[in-house]
Amino acid sequence: MNKTKRKIFEASMKLFAEKGYDATSVEEITATVGVAKGTLYYHFSSKEEIFNFLIDEGVKLLLNNIEIKTKKLDNSIDKLRAVIILQIRVLKKYESLIKIFLSQIWGDDPRSIRCKETVLNYIGEIEKIVKEGIEKKEIKDGDTNAIAAEIFALTCATMIVKLTRKEELDVKNLSKEFENILEGLKY
């Protein structure tokens, strides 16, 4: 991604998170970035395309990191531990992106549906690890989708509470808190 496209990406992410997608105009994005509308339209054909790019890039970043970290691990519990730590790190670093997801996920409009599908696809990746763990007798038998959703939801809920209380997300301490959950999954 070139420098200008990155600036548009970051400004849009911040504005969408602060004001919401509908309340953010292309003019605000261009003013924040300091580029002409033509420059923005050179990189993105519409505000909707910017939104879709944010969602795609955010999930791609998380999935790529998870793939890299879990590929080196044999045990499913260790893989889930890596997923939790990465989720917390991504939540901390890209707080605005998570706010966008959470604000847009409700409803039946195309953006909401896209966010729901993206979250469900991501949870599906966690579910693959859970299924593998059950098959290898590393994780207790259970509803793989529910377990995967719980892992995702717990990290998101923790972030919401920390942000609401204006507390710092401490990756190390939070990952220790999730150890009890991982212990409960062990076969």
Question: DSSP string of 103-137?
Answer: HHSSSSSHHHHHHHHHHHHHHHHHHHHHHHHHHTT
pLDDT by position in tens, the chain (length 187) = 789 999 999 999 999 989 989 999 999 999 999 999 999 999 999 999 999 999 998 888 888 989 999 999 999 999 999 999 988 888 778 888 888 888 888 889 999 999 999 999 999 999 999 999 999 999 999 999 999 999 999 888 887 787 788 887 787 888 888 888 888 899 8
Tell me, yes or no, whether 54 and 103 share the same domain: yes
Query: What is the per-residue pLDDT for 149?
Result: 95
What pLDDT is recorded for position 117? Answer: 92
Whether the full predicted model's pTM is greater than 0.95, yes or no, is: no
95 and 114 share one domain = yes
Same domain, 21 and 67: no
Q: Looking at residue 1, what is its pLDDT? A: 77
Contact between 43 and 16 (Cβ < 8 Å)? no
Is 145 found in the same domain as 61? Answer: yes
Q: Are residues 54 and 41 in the same domain?
A: no
What DSSP string describes 4-52? HHHHHHHHHHHHHHHH-TTT--HHHHHHHHT--HHHHHHH-SSHHHHHH
State the residue range of the domain holding 26.
1-45
Q: Are residues 152 and 73 in the same domain?
A: yes
